[in-house]
């Protein structure tokens, strides 16, 4: 079977550095090729050129990794699938709802979140055309240690901005270090707990040296960094917005209720409690769970859906 993946054409695939959507497209395409699918990646900035490449390939399925290029969907006369990777969706749902109605009226949806499924059902899409398909992780790329060098430290990894609330976490006194590009004026980059930015290779190598990851974002789709942390053997301390597709009944995943998100002492205690717990257990428990998100397993789920 032939599948065309459509990406925005803004960053190379695979990306040379950061690029979450492009990383997902690359890893998903490779995992599907491994089980026998013929995958075309159309990563073209101009919609007309993207359409021409798809027409030449003549696929059985066109899968838009949405971002851009939704306007070509009505001109494609084959089975169409959409996955939303656009973080703006959260901030401007009405705008995207109009795009869905106008351009995606005959598509199926492989969603990252349950609330997207609810939105599509409310618009009028039949349940048979709406699925949850989690993003995966490049599980085997991450170094894995049985005991981290920085066992008394937690880590926040990713772009530092107001939405992710690193400035709030920075002054809790919870022994959290911060890695990522700083785009928040309230965050103090001169503090010792700010390490700076890591390359992708440094993430693969260094993440395992911490006990747990903290992500208290106010809004997310499915944060890839959670799967990355699990794949390096770390536990998770998360806001409710960051829990999509995760089993929050697991003891190494702690969720901060929205009603307690501004309670400094409570948040501090949960970070330390989770860290101590993660240091007390065999990391293999975390890694076994992380392996369920390996792209090979996600490809098998994709195969079942189509």
Which secondary structure element, helix H or strand E, spans residue 43, and what is its range? strand 38-43
Asked if 95 contacts 129 with a C-beta cutoff of 8 angstroms, the reply is no
pLDDT at 88 over 80: no
Asked if 73 contacts 99 with a C-beta cutoff of 8 angstroms, the reply is no
Average pLDDT over residues 202-206: 96
Average pLDDT over residues 54-58: 98
What span, in angstroms and rounded, lies between the C-alpha atoms of 242 and 237? 9
Q: Report the pLDDT value the prediction gives residue 28, as an integer from 0 to 100.
A: 97
Q: How confident is the model at residue 16 (pLDDT cuts 50, 70, 90)?
A: confident
Average pLDDT over residues 29-48: 98
Asked if 214 contacts 154 with a C-beta cutoff of 8 angstroms, the reply is yes
Q: For 236-267, write each residue's pLDDT tens digit.
A: 999 999 999 999 999 999 999 999 999 999 99
Q: Is the peptide bond before 14 cis (omega within 30 degrees of 0)?
A: yes
Asked if 65 contacts 84 with a C-beta cutoff of 8 angstroms, the reply is no
Q: Report the pLDDT value the prediction gives residue 144, as an integer from 0 to 100.
A: 98
DSSP notation for 168-208: HHHTS-S-EEEES-B--TTS-TTSTTEEE---HHHHHHHGG
Query: Dihedrals φ, ψ of 65, to 5°?
Result: -90, 95
What span, in angstroms and rounded, lies between the C-alpha atoms of 160 and 232? 21
Residue partners of 195: CB distance under 8 A and separation at least 6: 177, 178, 179
The reply to whether 139-291 shares the fold of 2-133 is yes
CB atoms within 10 A of CB 130: 17
Taking the CA atoms of 13, 14, 18 and 22 in sequence, report the sign of the dihedral they define.
positive
Q: How confident is the model at residue 219 (pLDDT cuts 50, 70, 90)?
A: confident
Which of 56-70, 78-92, 151-165 has the weakest average pLDDT?
A: 78-92
Count of CA atoms in the C-beta half-sphere (13 A) of 15 = 18
Asked if 234 contacts 279 with a C-beta cutoff of 8 angstroms, the reply is no
Q: For 266-306, write each residue's pLDDT tens digit.
A: 999 999 999 999 999 999 999 999 999 999 999 999 999 99
pLDDT at 87 over 80: no
CB atoms within 10 A of CB 170: 22
CATH hierarchy code of domain 139-291: 3.40.50.2000
Per-domain boundaries in the chain:
2-133, 139-291
pLDDT at 234 over 90: yes
Q: 220 in the Ramachandran plot: left (φ > 0), alpha (ψ -120 to 50) or beta?
A: beta
Count of CA atoms in the C-beta half-sphere (13 A) of 78 = 15
What span, in angstroms and rounded, lies between the C-alpha atoms of 39 and 31? 10
Asked if 229 contacts 252 with a C-beta cutoff of 8 angstroms, the reply is no
DSSP notation for 217-273: -S--S--HHHHHHHHTT-EEEEEGGG-TT--TTSTTEEEE-GGGTT-HHHHHHHHHH
Query: In CATH terms, is domain 2-133 a member of 3.40.50.2300?
Result: yes
- Cα dist. 84→63, 205, 264 in Å? 11, 30, 34
């Amino acid at each position: 079977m032939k599948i065309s993946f459509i990406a925005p054409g803004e960053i190379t695939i695979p990306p040379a550095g950061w690029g979450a959507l492009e990383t997902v497209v690359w890893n998903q395409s490779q995992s599907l090729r491994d089980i026998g699918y013929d995958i075309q990646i159309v990563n073209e900035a101009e919609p007309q050129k993207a359409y021409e490449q798809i027409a030449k390939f003549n696929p059985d399925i066109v899968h838009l990794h949405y971002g851009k290029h939704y306007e070509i969907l009505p001109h494609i006369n084959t089975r169409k699938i959409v996955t939303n990777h656009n973080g703006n969706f959260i901030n401007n749902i009405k705008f995207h709802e109009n795009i869905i109605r106008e351009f995606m009226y005959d598509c199926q949806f492989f969603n990252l979140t349950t609330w997207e499924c609810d939105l599509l059902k409310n618009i009028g899409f039949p349940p048979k055309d709406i699925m949850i398909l989690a993003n995966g992780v490049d599980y085997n790329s991450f170094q894995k240690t049985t005991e981290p060098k920085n066992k008394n430290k937690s880590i926040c990894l990713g772009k530092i901005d107001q939405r992710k609330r690193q400035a709030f976490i920075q002054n809790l006194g919870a022994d959290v270090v911060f890695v990522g590009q700083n785009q928040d004026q309230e965050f103090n980059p001169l503090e010792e707990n700010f390490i700076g930015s890591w390359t992708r290779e440094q993430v693969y190598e260094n993440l395992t040296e911490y006990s747990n990851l903290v992500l208290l974002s106010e809004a997310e789709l499915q944060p890839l960094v959670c799967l990355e942390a699990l794949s390096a053997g770390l536990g998770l301390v998360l806001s409710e917005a960051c829990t999509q597709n995760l089993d929050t009944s697991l003891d190494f995943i702690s969720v901060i209720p929205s009603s307690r998100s501004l309670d400094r002492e409570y948040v501090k205690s949960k970070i330390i409690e989770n860290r101590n717990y993660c240091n007390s257990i065999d990391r293999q428990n975390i890694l076994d769970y992380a392996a369920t998100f390996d792209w090979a397993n996600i490809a098998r789920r994709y195969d079942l859906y189509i």
